[in-house]
Structure 1
Amino acid sequence: MDLDIVALSRLQFALTALYHFIFIPLTIGLSVILAIMETVYVMTGRTIWRDMTKFWGVLFGINFAMGVATGIVMEFQFGMNWSYYSHYVGDIFGAPLAIEGLMAFFLEATFVGLFFFGWDKLSARGHLVTTWLVAIGSNFSALWILIANGWMQNPVGAAFNPQTMRMEVTDFGAVLTNPVAQAKFVHTVSAGYTVAAIFVLGVSAWYLLKGRHVQLAKRSMTVAASFGLAASLSVAVLGDESGYLASEHQKMKLAAIEAMWETEPAPAAFTAIGFPDQAARETHYALHIPMVMGLIGTRSLDTEIPGIAQLVERGQLLIRDGIKAYDALQTIRAVPPGGVVPEAATAMFESKGQSLGYALLLKRYVDDPRLATQEQIARAALDTVPPVAPLFWSFRVMVGLGMFFILLTGTFFVLSVRRRLDAHRWLLKVAVCAIPLPWVAAEAGWIVAELGRQPWVIEGVLPTAVAVSNLGVTTLLITIAGFAAIYTVLLVIEMKLMLKTIRKGPDQHAPAAPPVPPAVQPAAIQPA
């Protein structure tokens, strides 16, 4: 990318979003695991489950604080770096963010305090209710954020007002029930559950390897393995739903993910691996699996998935319709207050207004889209193709790791049922090494979701290039460097605090068991 305002604004938001999303999945997932552990404590009265809840709760608290610190900046960026975006869609986008702040965040933050300081002040059941409310608040927070993000992917329940030059809500219920938002929510929280499950599994495996806190570690692994298996299977199922919705609402994203340059006969093949070449419009050394993409993308055997070339041609037609809408809009706005708007202009805008955003793609090349040449229209249509190679590989990294998580959690689930969690030292080492992998998968998923939407900040409505604030390049470079430095320091602090807490271990007095020897031992009896 050239170092212009648009590229730097995107880079800054991507940087802060990717840093922020390091903390969010673990917060979402650990909050539910804590609630499960404390539920077992209240039901059984066994103090070891209380020790488990407190120990993992400390790690949750560290991560929660860092998530709050990094998340505040992101909402301010909408006003600072994306002011035209905020003006254009603030009526719709602002509502979910406000509800998230007023309801979910305050609910979560209030009960987090009670969780940490209410152990000796609340009854066991009262504290359990508090823990579940923390988990509910964490998930509600994600819900409202993803409703806002889902609307950016599939803008429903809103219409453009020619008088105010803004998008306005027409059906808030449609915004809330947006199928893309709902699919993103359940897919994202399931991914968060997987992140937390692998984290608990890996840390517990480390304790078994060291022979420390063995009983607590085995119980934690049992919870993590069962919870993680259910979560990782859910991610796979819900990811399939997201792919199906992309075939309906974001056809170009799906074609780019598959590096599908031309429309294939139905049902389309899935490209398992290959090396996309966007300049040549070709995927080198591609390995295809017949029919799979058609089944995933359309859930049928006779529905085509359009290729990139055909979608670019469609983009040119939409740009031409958008020019007509832009011309009608200028006619409408030229009418003085109290004047009569020409019926032809009104009819044209009502007919072609849904393509207005495509005319705005031309703003990169000409101030007035009505003066665009055929060459400029063709270039704007090509701009609707996102970067194919990063999308292609990010998607496959995400899917490949997802399959690995199913295998890993499934293996430990079987071992927990057989009470043989410490039977294989090499498996414990695999679990420890797997701790960072869910974050890699989660970040790859966000790259697919957000990079795949380009060049749109709102799919089909507002191009990214016209949504930014008019800031200087120097200002953006300074803030990017500042955010990178601050967020890196916060990440280092988080890692040190987490590692210190893990090394210290839970506050309990159970005697340590000897480390697991290299050779396979008879299975130890695991308490219920």
Structure 2
Amino acid sequence: MDVLDLARWQFGITTVYHFFFVPLTIGLSVLVASMQTIAWRTGKDHWNRLTAFFGKLFLINFALGIATGIVQEFQFGMNWSDYSRFVGDVFGAPLAIEGLLAFFLESTFLGLWIFGKGRLSPGLHLACIWIAALGTVFSAYFILAANSFMQNPVGFELDAASGRAELTDIGAVLTNPVLLTTFPHQIFGCFMVAGAFVAGVSMWQLLRHSDRAVSDSAESSAVADSAGSAAAFRPALKLGAVVLLVAGLGTVISGDFQGKVMTEVQPMKMAAAEGLYEDAQPAPFSAFTIGTLDGSEPLLQVEIPRLLSVLGTGTLDGEVRGIDSLQAEYEDLYGPGDYSPNIPITYWSFRLMITAGGIAMAMGALMLWMTRGGRTPSLARPSGRWLLRGAIVLPLLPLAANSFGWIFTEMGRQPWVVFGLMRTADGVSPGTSMAEIVISLGTFTLLYAVLAVIEVRLLLTYIGKGLPDTEPPVDADHPDAPLSYAY
């Protein structure tokens, strides 16, 4: 390994780890706001308790996401200074808007929501969580705008004297065709993660409390409490599973649009995603491919005729370029070099993304079916025990799909850090040594391992405690009442 390899590993680790928290934060903020809205409209106490329960889990995840996001920002100056110098004028604009607008909405109104329960009017308190949720969506938009510039540079001109890309049209950056298809795809993916999380946790709680409620050995107060918890988590399960299925459908549809834009602006990425080595018209979809170790040619393929033409061009007989012809074209355009990404990683990350998301949708549909009409599977039966295992695994599946999707997106762009303008090898900091990256990589890995233990322990602890009491912990009307966490 050299400095470039270690710098890429470090950025990849910090980015993927940070992204574990992002989709759950975005999706769960909206679901918690929805739960509180239902409670406000209906006056039903169990929705207030569900808001407090999932609100606390949301805040735990939000806090860890902020910590890991701050660490990620240091990467640009530490290991990628040449990249930062080249693209900073363009890249910095959407990130500045994200910090000044989106993060302001998140942090300010989330603080009001945390500390304002019992101190703000119910309607104003509800508005705070909705504004904070809107801030998370805005944050995603502006960060994706910066990333979309790396995929499809627009709204800039190259300054020959400074060797930098200079922003000329912020409107073009914020309406990049890649951004307009990536944003809905990512937001739907976030709702899949949040829906699966709510459905999985609710299914686990429903099975657990339903069995306690029918136990003859339990005391009457415990039976009543378990019955109440089971009744509360049943609508939460339905909400989470329905959101998972609807968001899954939206992810598929938006992904189809995204594939057509990708075929247009990054044809090499599409070819690598499908293991397509030669130009094809019509182009088959590769359901399964085994290639040589260097990814230079296929050895075994299982194909679906014409499907790739539909995905890439929207027609049954559209042409999709292959890796070999694109490599020759790029050599003529950009000079000697290998312009294809790592084919096995790109190919399989794309399929793992689809597989994990599809299994999650199937599990969500199964949970709805198994609990239809007030039914509750029993842990005394094998079906109930398998459903419990599925509830534990379910939140991880869309999270894995999101992560594989981003690995595909970033690995498929290689060898470019900014497509067509700067190669990844040219963006690394020239003065960074192997020892510096090894030390920082080891430090970040250890830090993230500790944070992972903290995150999982906190989530499991508060999930295990079940629904909290919604009574305010202090007399909010007293002038000397101390500020305390409401969630």
TM-score (norm 1): 0.82
In the TM superposition, what is the alpha-carbon distance from 1:251 to its structure 2 partner?
0.5
The 3 A distance-change label for structure 1 pair 428 and 443 is same
Residue 56 of structure 1 corresponds to: 54
Q: Following the alignment from structure 2 to structure 1, what is the Cα–Cα distance between the partners of residues 61 and 248?
A: 22
In the TM superposition, what is the alpha-carbon distance from 1:215 to its structure 2 partner?
1.5
CA displacement 1:233-288 (0-9 Å, x = unmatched): 11111111111111000010111111111112x22111111222253632233111
Residue 456 of structure 1 corresponds to: 416
CA displacement 1:22-63 (0-9 Å, x = unmatched): 111110111010011011011101111111001100000000
Residue 446 of structure 2 corresponds to: 485
* Corresponding residue to 1:228 among 241, 244, 248: 244
What pairs up with 1:1-400 in 2 under 5 angstroms?
3-211=1-209, 212=226, 213-264=229-280, 266-277=281-292, 279=294, 281-320=296-335, 377=336, 380=337, 383-400=338-355
Q: Following the alignment from structure 2 to structure 1, what is the Cα–Cα distance between the partners of residues 344 and 75?
A: 28
Q: Indicate if the aligned counterparts of 1:208 and 1:422 stay in contact, CA closer than 8 A.
A: no
SS of structure 2 residue aligned to 1:469: coil
SS of structure 2 residue aligned to 1:274: strand
Q: Indicate if the aligned counterparts of 2:278 and 2:321 stay in contact, CA closer than 8 A.
A: yes
Q: Following the alignment from structure 1 to structure 2, what is the Cα–Cα distance between the partners of residues 41 and 189?
A: 25
CA displacement 1:173-195 (0-9 Å, x = unmatched): 11000010121111112111111
In the TM superposition, what is the alpha-carbon distance from 1:210 to its structure 2 partner?
1.2
In the TM superposition, what is the alpha-carbon distance from 1:408 to its structure 2 partner?
2.4
Q: Following the alignment from structure 1 to structure 2, what is the Cα–Cα distance between the partners of residues 93 and 507?
A: 43
Asked if residue 497 in structure 1 is aligned to residue 452 in structure 2, the reply is no
SS of structure 1 residue aligned to 2:21: helix
Q: Following the alignment from structure 2 to structure 1, what is the Cα–Cα distance between the partners of residues 372 and 113?
A: 31
SS of structure 1 residue aligned to 2:374: coil
* Corresponding residue to 1:445 among 402, 405, 412: 405
Residue 506 of structure 1 corresponds to: 467
In the TM superposition, what is the alpha-carbon distance from 1:407 to its structure 2 partner?
2.1
Q: Following the alignment from structure 1 to structure 2, what is the Cα–Cα distance between the partners of residues 420 and 276?
A: 48
Asked if residue 476 in structure 1 is aligned to residue 432 in structure 2, the reply is no
Residue 431 of structure 1 corresponds to: 391
- Equivalent AA in structure 1 for residue 441 of structure 2: I
Q: Following the alignment from structure 2 to structure 1, what is the Cα–Cα distance between the partners of residues 423 and 295?
A: 25
The 3 A distance-change label for structure 1 pair 115 and 165 is same
Q: Indicate if the aligned counterparts of 2:198 and 2:240 stay in contact, CA closer than 8 A.
A: yes
The 3 A distance-change label for structure 1 pair 421 and 314 is farther
Q: Following the alignment from structure 2 to structure 1, what is the Cα–Cα distance between the partners of residues 285 and 407?
A: 20
Q: Which runs of 5+ in 2 are unaligned?
A: 210-225, 471-487
| RMSD of equivalent CA atoms | 1.6
- Equivalent AA in structure 2 for residue 506 of structure 1: L
Q: Following the alignment from structure 2 to structure 1, what is the Cα–Cα distance between the partners of residues 456 and 302?
A: 40
Aligned length: 446
TM-score (norm 2): 0.89
- Equivalent AA in structure 2 for residue 223 of structure 1: L
In the TM superposition, what is the alpha-carbon distance from 1:415 to its structure 2 partner?
5.3
In the TM superposition, what is the alpha-carbon distance from 1:111 to its structure 2 partner?
1.3
Q: Following the alignment from structure 1 to structure 2, what is the Cα–Cα distance between the partners of residues 405 and 245?
A: 26
In the TM superposition, what is the alpha-carbon distance from 1:414 to its structure 2 partner?
4.8
SS of structure 2 residue aligned to 1:418: helix
In the TM superposition, what is the alpha-carbon distance from 1:76 to its structure 2 partner?
2.0
Identity of aligned residues (%): 43
In the TM superposition, what is the alpha-carbon distance from 1:135 to its structure 2 partner?
0.8
Q: Which runs of 5+ in 1 are unaligned?
A: 321-376, 510-528
